[in-house]
DNA sequence: ATTAATTATGCAATACTTTTCGAGAATTAT
DNA sequence: ATAATTCTCGAAAAGTATTGCATAATTAAT
């Protein structure tokens, strides 16, 4: 039995049972407790589980393939997510695009009141399903291998039938002059449809992606109602956006 | 034995079993462990597998961490998946329901020719995205929290527009007299639509779910063209199905 | 076709990793 | 406090990796 296999087994047990005993796993996998102890320690160091006296427990933070360390600028995105949540009200209909910032928002979504959320993003949808009070509606269509989102005609048609209260647009590049831009033509079409389908458009972006311009244009800066970054609203970096009167959170 | 042959053998083993041991392959292919070690290293450098101490593991395995119920059922499902693949031809349009058997099938899907696959299952879709040659189309709609599949009116409407060559129906309970049954009314509607949308219906089920009956009926046994279980086609357990002339694989 | 260059394989010695075990220290439960 | 369990550590054993080298097989060049 390979170390890798043990690690997988352990991760699965932790996921399913929320806790594991050193002894049980050692018996089950037919190795010494020492070995399992080292495995648990290793997985703990990776942040995948939490080692405790006599075994390990789930880290409850990690569901699915969601690995915080793998997400670039995770702390920033987490903060953006928390700010975004302050905009959400009970019973609202929300539209969420893809990207790791939205994925983080999906993870942080409030649990205590009902919401209806439309998304074309597979990872975001999976994350939303963790929240029992959220009705998640997947906007279907042809899936993009890399981005793991639905794109193309079907998706746009479906979006044309939706009218959401808020749309959270993740990823993308934002510049005061040039507006919101993307490097994938199909993603541009998708975002345009999402903007059309929402009363209020909220752009979520880490400050690093501000003042960057890509090939294709999604919309003018004026079409965006609210901008959320990890920076405080009065940060000089956001000066250009403050000047044109964009709401900044 | 040519190097190419060994590499192909290894890749296939990794794909089917998720892992390989240096020793096993060396014996099987009748070359030294050194050679296999070099092969594994080579394949790792190509990014095709992940080399670990003592062998290698699949690298896409970790991208989506799916739950293997228990090792035995998993082996059965894996075998069912392999049988199902023998039915698939280039360029076909395929419909796949949810469930762990279909998830396993999704994992094992052939990589070397193009396919178009429709599915309402989030985990199956994610798994399919691992295959560059497969065009995956998600049949959108309201998502079920537990089953992680799209259900409801939208989903059924979309399916009404599809005509697939084959439909792989996972999970569910099959009995010669009572036909295919389910315990969730909405899932019944979904499966009915999937059956209507396909020229050929293939039921995938572990033998343990045969002769079980649930509350709601999806279809008669006659509506199913092909049955795949982990058992050999001539197994006495499948006697009832053999008698009515169902194709069994 | 023969030679030279390149690549692939197996072997042996050595280095490295992983696992197990035992004894004592630390922790937890009663 | 006492007993029971779990943890840490070092050493030994088992297993795996690396290296250099000899030989065989393949490819390219003359």
User: Where are the domains positioned within chain A?
Assistant: 3-57, 68-248
**Paired residues of B143 in beta bridges:** B150
A76 three-state secondary structure:
helix
Distance from CA of A53 to the nearest CA of B (A): 26
Note the pLDDT of residue B1.
66
| Contact call for B54 and A3, based on CB within 8 A | yes
Task: Compare CB distances from A12 to B54, B68, B155 and report the shortest one's residue.
Answer: B68
Compare all CA atoms of chain B with the CA of A130 and give the residue at the minimum distance.
B145
Taking the CA atoms of chain B, what radius of gyration do you get in angstroms? 19
B199 three-state secondary structure:
strand
Query: Which residues of chain A make contact with B63, given a CB cutoff of 8 A?
Result: 65
Structure tokens at B130: 């691992």
Q: Which of A7, A30, A1 is nearest to B20 (CA)?
A: A1
The string of DSSP codes covering A173-193 is EEETTTEEEES-HHHHHHHHH
Compare all CA atoms of chain B with the CA of A134 and give the residue at the minimum distance.
B145
* Range A206-225 average pLDDT: 87
Closest nucleotide to B29: CA versus each C1'? C9
Note the pLDDT of residue B59.
74
Note the pLDDT of residue B87.
94
Closest nucleotide to B56: CA versus each C1'? D16
Task: Judge whether residue A64 has pLDDT over 50.
Answer: no
Structure tokens at A132: 């029992």
Higher pLDDT, A5 or A66: A5
Query: Which residues of chain A make contact with B136, given a CB cutoff of 8 A?
Result: 142-143
Residue B116 near residue B93 (C-beta atoms within 8 A): yes
Task: Judge whether residue A95 has pLDDT over 90.
Answer: yes
Give the alpha-carbon dihedral of A138, A139, A143, A148, to 10 degrees. Answer: -50
| Contact call for A143 and B122, based on CB within 8 A | no
List the nucleotides on chain D closer than 7 A to a protein CB. Answer: 5-10, 15-20
Q: How far is the CA of A236 from the C1' of C25 (A)?
A: 57
Residue B230 near residue B105 (C-beta atoms within 8 A): no
* pLDDT band at residue A17 under the 50/70/90 scheme: low
Task: Judge whether residue A125 has pLDDT over 90.
Answer: yes
Residues of chain B with pLDDT under 50: 62-72
Q: What is the CATH number of domain B71-248?
A: 3.40.50.10470
List the nucleotides on chain C closer than 7 A to a protein CB. Answer: 8-12, 17-22, 27-28
Note the pLDDT of residue B69.
45
* pLDDT band at residue A47 under the 50/70/90 scheme: confident
The single residue listed with the structure tokens 């394949």 is B43
Determine the topology of domain B3-62 in CATH.
Arc Repressor Mutant, subunit A (1.10.10)
Task: Judge whether residue A82 has pLDDT over 90.
Answer: no
Interface residues of chain B, partner chain A, Cβ below 8 Å: 19, 21, 50, 52-55, 57, 61-65, 67-68, 122, 125-126, 128-129, 132, 135-143, 145, 148, 150, 154-155, 158
Closest nucleotide to B35: CA versus each C1'? C9
Note the pLDDT of residue A10.
85
Q: How far is the CA of B10 from the C1' of D20 (A)?
A: 27
Q: What is the CATH number of domain A68-248?
A: 3.40.50.10470
Determine the topology of domain A3-57 in CATH.
Arc Repressor Mutant, subunit A (1.10.10)
- The size of the A-B interface in CB pairs under 8 A is 94
Higher pLDDT, A215 or A165: A165
Whole-number Å distance between alpha carbons of A1 and A60: 28
The two domains B3-62 and B71-248 share their CATH topology (first three levels equal): no
């Amino acid at each position: 039995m390979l170390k890798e296999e043990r690690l997988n087994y352990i991760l699965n047990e932790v996921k399913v049972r929320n806790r594991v005993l050193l002894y049980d796993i050692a018996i089950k996998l037919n190795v010494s407790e020492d070995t399992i102890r080292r495995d648990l320690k290793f997985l703990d160091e990776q942040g995948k589980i939490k080692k405790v006296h006599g075994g390990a427990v789930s880290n409850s933070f990690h569901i699915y393939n969601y690995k915080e360390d793998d997400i670039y600028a995770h702390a920033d995105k987490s903060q953006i997510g928390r700010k975004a949540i302050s905009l959400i009200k009970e019973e609202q209909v929300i539209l969420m695009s893809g990207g790791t910032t939205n994925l983080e928002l999906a993870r942080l979504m409030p649990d205590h009141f009902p919401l209806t959320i439309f998304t074309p993003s597979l990872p975001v949808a999976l994350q939303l399903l963790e929240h029992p009070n959220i009705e998640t509606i997947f906007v279907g269509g042809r899936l993009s291998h890399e981005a793991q989102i639905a794109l193309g005609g079907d998706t746009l048609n479906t979006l044309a039938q939706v009218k959401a209260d808020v749309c959270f647009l993740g990823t993308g590049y934002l510049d005061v002059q040039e507006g919101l831009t993307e490097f994938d033509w199909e993603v541009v079409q998708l975002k345009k449809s999402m903007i059309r389908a929402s009363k209020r458009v909220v752009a979520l972006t880490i400050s690093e992606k501000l003042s960057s311009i890509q090939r294709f244009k999604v919309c003018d800066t004026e079409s965006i109602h609210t901008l959320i970054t990890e920076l405080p609203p009065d940060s000089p970096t956001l000066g250009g956006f403050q000047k044109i009167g964009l709401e900044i959170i």
